Amino acid sequence: MPEKIELPITGMNCAACAARIEKVLNKMETVQEARVNFPLKKAVILPKTGLELKDVVSLIRDIGYDVDMEADVTVRARKEETELRRDFSWAISLTVPIMVFSMWMALPWNNVILLVLTIPVQFYFGLRFHASALINLKHFTADMNTLISVGTSAAFFYSAFVTFFPHVVRAAGVSAMTYFDSSAMIISLILLGRYFESKAKTRTYTAIKLLYELSPKECVLLKDGVETRVPTDALEVGDTVLIRPGEKVPIDGVVLTGSTYVDESMITGESMPAHKKPDDEVIGGTINGKGSVTVRTTRTGSDTVLARVIRLVEEAQFTKAPVQRLADRVAGVFVPSVIIVGICAFLVWFFFGPEPRITNAILSFVSVLIIACPCALGLATPTAIMVATGVGARRGILIKSAEALELTNRARNVLFDKTGTLTEGVIVLADVIPLASSDEKEVLRIAFNLEKQSEHPFSDALRKKAQESGIPSLDVTDFEAVIGRGIKGRIGGADYRMGNRTFYEEEGHILDNRTRDLYEEKERSAASPVLLWSETGLMAILTFSDRVREESIEVVRKLREMNVEPVMITGDSENGARTISGRLGIERYFHRVLPDGKAAIVEEFRKKGVTVMVGDGINDAPSLAAADIGVAMGKGTDIAIESADVVLMKGHLSRLVSLIRLSRKTMRVIKQNLFWAFIYNVHGIPIAFGALYPFFGIRLEPVFGAVAMVISSISVVSNSLRLKFFKD
């Protein structure tokens, strides 16, 4: 019996579907725990002894869903997108002439033409709603699908009755109006919304696929001095692999021979490549620099750090609770209530109403259902979300789901990755302190020409500074790189050295008190100081660092004003973390944190309130997925962007504050929309029932119910459009 069973499920239309499947599976005696994820369309089951897979599949099929063991999740997602796009395209192509014939045409067979055009929209392209409604009925539940099915069916069947028996309706003193246009338009609009929702979800699958692609599929195996290219999956613990310059590290291992610099930013988030020498560990998926190394394999397959990162991202998708929209929460009570009221209206008019009783009873029943049609209710959230996401996009905020926009409104904590988020993520020459008789230009001239032949990350920063300062290129002889220490060479007949304090002292020199204090001060400030000296003595201290974003301090201040606590997480040292957090005004910080540690910290903060995680690297992917709202910097990695719920385009951190303000404004508009969506029902349903008839002889005909529904929809759309005038 496997530890867990994963089943890809098809046929789920909303989070309520996932909850229903999960509830049924957890009732099985042979199931320890079942979790169903709607975005991933997958169930994870922890079995007990005696569980038969065929029983699980049969149970899922019994409640109206299916299990597809063959198709890849991405293939299924694209198939669903294609089907929804196709259904909407055909439905709207029929709905447009239906609207035209309803409003402007008056042909002899007008209603018959409308009936023929509406049938495929109602019963073929709208079948998914009716099928879900029947499943809900079977299990005594209701959701938005039930509302859509009941409302459109009431409009359609009443219109069909009017088409074939108009004299019966007229006999009751009621105009023979049809509502085929209402039925077709509602189904078309909902299909369009489902299509955009499906399109957004595929990004979740893309994120995980990108993670899998990080590890190279092939590598060079060294055995008995012979190089052989083999699949990475074929490696075993203890194998020796050769990693050439620029190649990806295929597995986790330990360096045997050679030295190099490895870009580990995908794991640690730090922009500065790490020096690797014999006995140092390397991580699969990281990128080798310009040196060749041989590595002994220590972990393969699912045991590697990269595999654990992938697993964290996938598991986070299951632990992230879906946000249930306000409309969905009330639908379970609203729909059965409307149906009961409609039945009561029918019975009252049939037994106590004036003649013709059966006609009046049918008209009252239909009036109640039509005025309760969920058009405005269905538009209440999507229209506001649509306008808000458009406003966000124009301000450089890509919001990938309605849930993210809703949850951001309640954010209480914002956790920031340091490198590339609060800082620029680029090594720069931050400071030059000339010593003795040297000047800055002379220091830059020597440092640049020494470093230009080096593979060290500092060389790019020096090259950029030299270009800005117009420093000329000089010939360097006897150049030598001392890995992990520094470099040396001869310029213009003089010997020069450049490196860290260890290199300086190993050459037999001792720092004086003032220089030592300056050097240690730079180290405490989260920077990397480097010494430059010649045969005649120490020339300068050059400091390299990752600059703090200019906007970071202002963002932190505004978050505090909004009662949102900023927190910093970094893989940097405690001194570096303390310095940067102090400079930004952040009170809480975590240092020396790796990807799994970040995700764990996010989970702890989620217990205290809605938590936002902001990051830019591959190492941030698990924590972005684990957070209530994951926010990626637009200049970050593809995987961070795909794993996030929101992307700040062009890397503007200040847009985070705009996101929170936009979310709060949007939620106010959604609540107002729901009020307008229901206010007409609250007043219209009793009138449709016939509450005013005994006193004033007034009854609400279906046509007025449709008008009320349209007014309600216009109110909702107009209110949503106010978001276009949102200001930061």
Per residue, what are the HEC states of 80-144? HHHHHHHHHHHHHHHHHHHHHHHHCCCCCCHHHHHHHHHHHHHHHHCHHHHHHHHHHHHCCCCCH
Q: In terms of C-beta density within 10 A (0-12 exposed, 13-18 middle, 19 or more buried), how is residue 700 classed?
A: buried
Q: What tokens does 9 get? A: 């499920």
Please tell me whether residue 470 adopts helix, strand or coil conformation.
coil
CA contacts within 13 A on the Cβ side of 671: 8
Which residues, at least 6 apart from 390, have a Cβ–Cβ distance to it below 8 Å? Answer: 724
Using CA atoms, how far residue 110 sits from 114, 160, 172, 454, 568, in Å, is 6, 12, 22, 83, 67
- Bridge partners (DSSP) listed for residue 629: 612
> Per the residue annotation, which of 87, 143, 181, 417 is the catalytic one?
417
Burial of 697 (0-12, 13-18, 19+ CB in 10 A): exposed
- Token pair, residue 17, equals 């579907």
State the Cα–Cα distance between residues 544 and 271, nearest whole angstrom. 12
Classify strands 610-615 and 411-417 as parallel, antiparallel or unpaired. Answer: parallel
- Phi, psi (deg, nearest 5) at residue 222: -105, 120
Residues present in the chain in total: 728
The number of CA neighbours under 13 Å toward the Cβ of 344 is 12
Question: What backbone torsions phi and psi does residue 148 show, to the nearest 5 degrees?
Answer: -65, -45
DSSP helix/strand/coil, 379: helix
Q: Confirm whether 239 is a catalytic residue.
A: no
CA 60 – CA 44 distance, rounded (Å): 13
User: Is 12 within 8 Å of 145 (Cβ atoms)?
Assistant: no
Token reading at 398: 């890509």
Question: Which residues are tagged catalytic?
Answer: 417
